[in-house]
Every structure is written in structure tokens, then in C-alpha cells.
Structure 1
Amino acid sequence: MFKFKALFIGLLGILLFAQFAFAGPTYERVMKTKVIRAGIMTDSIPGAFYNDKGEWVGFDVDIAEAIAKRLGCKLERVAVNNKTRIAFVQQGRIDMSVANMTHKRERDKSIDFSITYFFDGQKFLAKKGKYTKWEDFVGKKIAVQQGTTSEINVKNLLKKLGDPNYEKNVISFQKESECFQALKMDRVAAWSTDSTILLGYAAKEPGKYELVGDFFSDEPYGIGLPENDSDWRDAINFTLQDMWKDGTYMKIYNKWYGPNTPYYFPLTRSIEMWP
């Protein structure tokens, strides 16, 4: 009995030590290992996606790579989706989530966020020439990604516009590519999410789709970070600000959203800068 207790206490001690060591400050561990594990999407055009050559590319990919380079680290890319990007931060499986994630107060209860590094808003994407305004979608099926702020925003808008079946008319899918496929096959009248994502998919088939109506939400993107780790949060914030100050940010932005790209999206705001 004594041996069993001793063994149990020993194993418990090892587990507690391992947990303590793993849960240490992110900044210290990253500076020691020189590796940053970043959660990045895989089908969010042009934020982060696989191109025709099978390369993992996009705005978020370049932002994450630039952050790692400035901190003298190697970037380890970890595929995430709308369901795992927060959980992976909480579980310590990634050090930051660079995954077109809107900073919401509700999400801030679970993880911390950097300053806003991208500014977007939500719209509808539909086949060209079929709809002209929000009201046209009352009573129609709308595709959204499951578990996103976009899903909530569309339901609230349709309810406000008087759609008695707004709950049933919002159809949830797991992936952005599935939403686009549903639109292509006329299973839904429109797909609604952040406008830059819609622009990305519409560019795959030029001239067939268009954005409808004005923005009906603000979507400020933040980098998801572990809770209560101010040194790491400061490192990310300072790096983003330095990238803005020396032009690195705009170089990356124009590469993906500039006037000479299929995803043209004029920048309307500036990153928060601290003196």
C-alpha cells in the first residue's frame, strides 16, 4: 500500500511539474525555443489558403511570418478553423491565433487579443444581378459558418428586417468553401461573412458574383493570445506597430488587398500606435 501511495504521489508530482512547466509564460518559452506556433486558417481566401500549387499562402500567413522573423523565431504553422482557433490557444497548442478572428467581448472572456491588425465588415455575396439590398434576402436561405459572429449577425439582421423564419433561413456550414459551394449550387440565395473573404471566393469566378448592400457589422481582427500573459501580448503589439511604422504592414497589405490584386479592399483605418 505504501509503495502504491509513493508511486502515485511521485507520478502526481511529475504531472504537476510538467503542467507548471508547460503553462509558463509564453514569451519566456518562445524566446528560449525560438519557435512560435501560430494557428492559421486554410481555406480563408485571401487571408490564408492553399493556392493552385498547394502552397499555404495569404495575408495572415505573411503577417505571422513577419512577426516571427522580427522576434528572431521560426514560425510553426498549425491549421485551425473557426471551432479550434480559440480552443488551441486555451490548451496551449498554439502561441497565437492569426486567423481572421473578430475581437469580441465574449471571446475576450476566453483568451486575450492583440491590438486590431485588420479592419473588415460583414456583407452578403450573391450571384450577380439577382439582389440589390438587404431586404431582398428576407425569406431567403443564407449560408454562414457555424459558430461564428457572422452567423449571429445575419440572424439579428434578418430578425430586424422582419423575417419570421430568420432562425431556419440561416444555414450553417463548417467551412467557408462549403458556404461558397452552397451558393454556387443555388442551395442558398447568398453567403454572408466578412467582405474580404467573400471577395476572395468571388475572385475565383470573375463576373459571376457580387457583394450586396452596405456593411452591417464592424469586424476588427485581433491576434488571439493566451490569457494573462502581458509580456507576450506586449511583444506582439509592439511588433505589429513596428511593422506599421516601417512600411512592412502596408507591403503585405498591398500584396493581398491592393488595387492590383483580385481582392482589392481599400484600407480605411490605421493600426493603433503608442508613443
Structure 2
Amino acid sequence: MRLWKILGIGLLTIMLSAQLSFAGPTYDQVMESGVVRVGIMTDSIPGAFYNDKNEWVGFDVDIAEEVAKRLGVDIERVAVTNRTRITFVQQGRIDMSVANMTHTRERDRVIDFSITYFFDGQKILAPVGQYTDHKDFVGKRIATMQGTTSEINIRNLLRELGDPNYAQNVISFQRESEAFQALKLGRVAGWSTDSTILLGYAAQEPGKWELVGDFISEEPYGIGVPQDDSAWRDAINFALQDMWKDGTYMEIYNKWYGPDTPYYFPMTRQIEVWP
């Protein structure tokens, strides 16, 4: 009898542990706790960065805050990088990643994404007057961001342009500030990543830097969310669409990318809105 009692307690413990491990979809957890954990970058001007007053600000910060507001929950900001913004979603350390992340098919295999909430494209930043075309960078070193679509795209571009050392000439950095520092010190001829990030850093030294050539790629940003949780994904999508319809999205956009900002980037597309 004693043995059966011990076995029963053990089985009950295992069942409770399993229930806690699979405690339900993200939407239910967030609504129950009243807090959404959001992965946000810290070094991506003007998307998400620390300003001169040491305030964590930016376009992505404001988007995340507004989504949380419309969901009726508080926000817990979690710092992420290019390397952790996906793994933190997979590990359950954050509920969504608002981190200038391009929605790609490869990434979609491991996490899900919201509708596109920002449209960017990759370019190359270089000293004013030194380069006029992409082909001018053949044989030269270019900085980019480690573990990103930018890293893949710039390597492919140099290879297509005939650079025999295209792989070695792409120097990858984890932080945007490190890549910009390499450019300023002349360790690289250019820096290639999403154009709005380049504009953000170039604005720190007006008149010294310029974007060279056409867009290398299109970079549609999506909010990263856990796999197979449609209720949570829909809640975020509805919040984004409502923000677009009532004008809040454009208010945030113009605050950071409007014509009166140092980061002017004209809006060229509309967010997907469902009837």
C-alpha cells in the first residue's frame, strides 16, 4: 500500500510538472500576468537605443509600448541583440521580439511573425565623395551585422560583382556602434545594413557620410512571436492594424522618420489591413 502511495505521488508530481511546462498559449499567459515581455534592441538608432539622457527610446520602443497599451497589459523591456532576438522567443524568455527583424522564410521555420510593420532596405554607408557605385567596393572591406540578412546579402553582392575575396572582405560585428566605429577609424571602406540604421548613425556626424548606390535588398520587418500561437499573433496583428487605421502608427513613424527628423525616410507602403 505504501509503495502504491509513493508511486501515485510521483506520478502526480510528473503530471503537474508537465502541465506547468506547457501552461498554455502565450496570449493566455500574457493576459493572466498582465505583462508582456518584449525583446528590444539597444544599439539600433533610431529604432531602439539609449539617448543622451540614458533613456531607452526609438521607433520600435514606441511601437512595442503602443501594442502593449492596446492589449491592456504592462510592458517589460528585455534587451536583445541580433543573435538573441530569435532564441529568446524560442526559449520563452520573451513573448515578442520588436527588434528591426526582417521576416524571412528561414526564420519563419523556427518562430512566427506578425504582419510587416516596417519597410526598409539594405544599403552601404561610406565617407562622402569617395564612392559612387557598388562596384567601387570590390576588393575592399565592408562592415556588416553578424547573424543578419545584411551579412548574407553583402557577401552575395560582392561575389556577384566579381570580388575573389568576397567572404574575407565582409567583416561582421555584433553591435551597430562597433561597425560604425570601424568605419570611422578607416578599418573598413563601408558599412552595410538596413538603411534606416545607417541614417541613424550618419546623423551623428552630419555631412560626413552618405549612402552609396541603390538598395541591395528589401527588408520587411515583422514582430517575432512563438510558433503556432495564432491567438497571440492575431492580437498583435489587430493592434498594429488598428494603429494604422486610427493614425497612431503614422504619428510614431513621423516622430522618428518624418521630414523634420535627422532620420528622414519617406513612407512608401501601407501596412496590411484586413476588413
Q: TM-score, normalised by structure 2?
A: 0.96
For 1:32, the equivalent position in structure 2 comes to 32
For 1:272, the equivalent position in structure 2 comes to 272
> What's the secondary structure of 2:214's corresponding residue?
coil
Using the alignment, how far apart are the partners of 1:69 and 1:195 within structure 2?
A: 29
> What's the secondary structure of 1:120's corresponding residue?
strand
5 Å-filtered alignment, 1:103-182, equals 103-182=103-182
> What's the secondary structure of 1:117's corresponding residue?
strand
> What's the secondary structure of 2:201's corresponding residue?
helix
> What's the secondary structure of 2:215's corresponding residue?
coil
For 2:70, the equivalent position in structure 1 comes to 70
Match of 1:19 among 18, 21, 24: 21
Using the alignment, how far apart are the partners of 2:167 and 2:20 within structure 1?
A: 46
> What's the secondary structure of 1:270's corresponding residue?
coil
The superposition leaves residues 148-197 of structure 1 with CA deviations (integer Å, 9 ceiling, x where unpaired) of 10000000000000000000000111111110000000000000000000
User: 1:19 is matched by which residue type in structure 2?
Assistant: S
> What's the secondary structure of 1:234's corresponding residue?
helix
User: 1:89 is matched by which residue type in structure 2?
Assistant: V
5 Å-filtered alignment, 1:177-256, equals 177-256=177-256
Q: CA separation of 1:3/1:48 partners in 2, compared to 1, >3 Å: closer, same or farther?
A: same
Q: Which runs of 5+ in 1 are unaligned?
A: none
> What's the secondary structure of 1:232's corresponding residue?
helix
The superposition leaves residues 111-138 of structure 1 with CA deviations (integer Å, 9 ceiling, x where unpaired) of 0000000000000001111111100000
Using the alignment, how far apart are the partners of 2:19 and 2:227 within structure 1?
A: 20
For 2:59, the equivalent position in structure 1 comes to 59
User: 2:39 is matched by which residue type in structure 1?
Assistant: G
Offset, 1:15? 2.9
Does residue 94 (structure 1) correspond to residue 94 (structure 2)? The answer is yes
Q: Which runs of 5+ in 2 are unaligned?
A: none
User: 2:150 is matched by which residue type in structure 1?
Assistant: S
Using the alignment, how far apart are the partners of 2:118 and 2:211 within structure 1?
A: 19
Using the alignment, how far apart are the partners of 2:11 and 2:237 within structure 1?
A: 42
Offset, 1:14? 4.1
State the percentage of identical aligned residues. Answer: 74
CA root-mean-square deviation: 1.5
Q: CA separation of 1:180/1:3 partners in 2, compared to 1, >3 Å: closer, same or farther?
A: farther
Using the alignment, how far apart are the partners of 2:40 and 2:95 within structure 1?
A: 11
Q: CA separation of 1:14/1:183 partners in 2, compared to 1, >3 Å: closer, same or farther?
A: same
